[in-house]
Amino acid sequence: MDNIDLEYVRSVVAKNNAWRGSTLNLIASENVMFPEVSEEFYCNDFMHRYAEGKPFARYYNGTKYIDELESKCMEYFRHKFKCSVANVQPISGAIANLAVFSGLPKGNGRVITNSLPSGGHITHNRMGTITRICGREVYNFPTNPDNPFKMDVDGAVRLVEEVQPDFIVLGKSMFLHPEPVREIREKFPELTIVYDAAHVFGLIYGGEFQQPFQEGADIITASTHKTFPGPQGGIILIRDERSFVKGIESALFPGIVSNHHLHRIPALLAAAIAYDTKHTDYGKRVVETAQKLSELLADAGFSVCGYDGKRYTYTHQVVLDVREMGGGALVADKLERSGIIVNKNSLPWDKSVINPSGIRIGVQEAVLRGYGAEEIFEKLKIALK
């Protein structure tokens, strides 16, 4: 233990900063914050403080400035999304999901979500919070036989009619196409629709993807650090003031979160303002870069997934089937040795998550750092030879 001291910690942090700063990060669930946000609005006295409860109704004293900022942050997102509720206290997208899944009324206990093989997130599925903590019985939407990265809408409608779920969850972790929010809403006017926008929140924010509330979703949960270049954390947006609002908010506090990491709040508000004033084309550049990259890879002979007759992707993500190159685990390790960071990813036909068929690429951080599709493609092509 003699070599574990402050200098040791400092050296490892410095090594990581230097290493990750020199790599091309293409992890689809990561991003850096907008440069205007990182230091001034994130690293400050708020990181040491507590503010249990809602703004202006706290269980602690000394909160007058976080009360002001948190209330303004909620107001900003309510205005942006034209919704009734914006709760910025979840400390992650998974916590936002947990609050919603546990706070919504329980009828027959059934929910329908996207399966893990088709891209659904672990929190939506049996081994995750929706069943293990919230006790919901999970059914999965069928996938399109011609494109397993998309939902079979007719089959989904039949499943909703059969299961009569308490609510459904749309949105994915491997997320290439818009979800059929409008089609499902038209068939089921009273159904509660939760849209997990963790991966696409920044694209929705920038107007470059589907707009879930306008299409009929009731609740949006999201992370604030993937395609939205803010601090790590989560958010819950609710379109209308509904009877379930109180249940969700009380599930979050006092049920799940005590201190909600206050230094996130000024950074989150600053990131939203920066997006709206200094980086207005960020979402557009992200989507265009992913689409161009997918086309370059396909033209070069790589097996790019998700093509629907027009595009391989409508988001920040590009998914490759790399079975013929040794599988996702081997390829991800090979890329890391070349200074490119991706993650292995299960594809709809996979049986193993240890060595799946695919890799998942996200361009959102690369775009923020100034990379274009051609430069990303050339680096990938060289590394994958």
Tens of pLDDT, residues 344-367: 999 999 987 888 999 999 999 999
Q: Which of 343, 374, 204 is nearest to 282 (CA)?
A: 204
| pLDDT at position 3 | 84
For residues 157-163, give the mean pLDDT: 98
| pLDDT at position 353 | 80
DSSP, residue by residue, 52-104: -EETTEESSSS-HHHHHHHHHHHHHHHHHHT-SEEE---SSHHHHHHHHHHHS
Confidence grade of residue 19 (pLDDT, cut at 50, 70, 90)? very high
Q: Which residues contact 312 (CB under 8 A, 6 or more apart)?
A: 176, 291, 294, 295, 298, 304, 305, 306, 318
For residues 268-293, give the mean pLDDT: 98
The domain limits of the chain are 21-30+280-383, 40-277
Q: Which uninterrupted H or E stretch holds 148?
A: strand 147-151
For residues 273-292, give the mean pLDDT: 98
What predicted TM-score, i.e. pTM, was given to this entire model? 0.97
Q: Quick check: 149 and 312 in contact, CB under 8 A?
A: no
Instruction: Answer whether residue 56 shows pLDDT above 80.
Output: yes
Rounded-to-integer distance, Cα 157 and Cα 163, Å: 10
| pLDDT at position 354 | 85
| pLDDT at position 385 | 84
Please state whether the peptide bond connecting residue 254 to the residue before it is cis, i.e. omega within 30 degrees of 0: yes
Q: Which of 254, 225, 250, 223 is nearest to 236 (CA)?
A: 223
Q: Which residues pair with 25 in a beta bridge?
A: 341
Rounded-to-integer distance, Cα 128 and Cα 102, Å: 13
Q: Which uninterrupted H or E stretch holds 344?
A: strand 343-345
State whether residue 167 is helix, strand or coil: strand
Going by their DSSP bridges, the two strands 340-341 and 24-25 should be labelled as: parallel
175 exposed, middle or buried (CB, 10 Å; 0-12, 13-18, 19+)?
Answer: buried
∠ CA 129-92-113, rounded to 5°: 40
CATH of 40-277, one of 3.40.50.2020, 3.40.640.10, 1.10.760.10, 3.40.50.300: 3.40.640.10
| pLDDT at position 259 | 94
11 exposed, middle or buried (CB, 10 Å; 0-12, 13-18, 19+)?
Answer: exposed
Q: Tokens 């069928």 map to which residue?
A: 142
For residues 1-23, give the mean pLDDT: 93
Rounded-to-integer distance, Cα 267 and Cα 224, Å: 10
Distances (CA, A) of 318 to 74, 301, 304, 346, 366: 32, 14, 7, 13, 13
The residue type at 208: E
CATH of domain 21-30+280-383: 3.90.1150.10
- 228-280 pLDDT, tens digit per residue, is 999 999 999 999 998 999 999 999 999 999 999 999 999 999 999 999 999 99
For residues 338-348, give the mean pLDDT: 97
Q: Which residues contact 305 (CB under 8 A, 6 or more apart)?
A: 149, 176, 312, 319, 320, 321, 347, 358
For residues 203-221, give the mean pLDDT: 98
Q: Tokens 């809602």 map to which residue?
A: 54
Q: Quick check: 179 and 159 in contact, CB under 8 A?
A: no
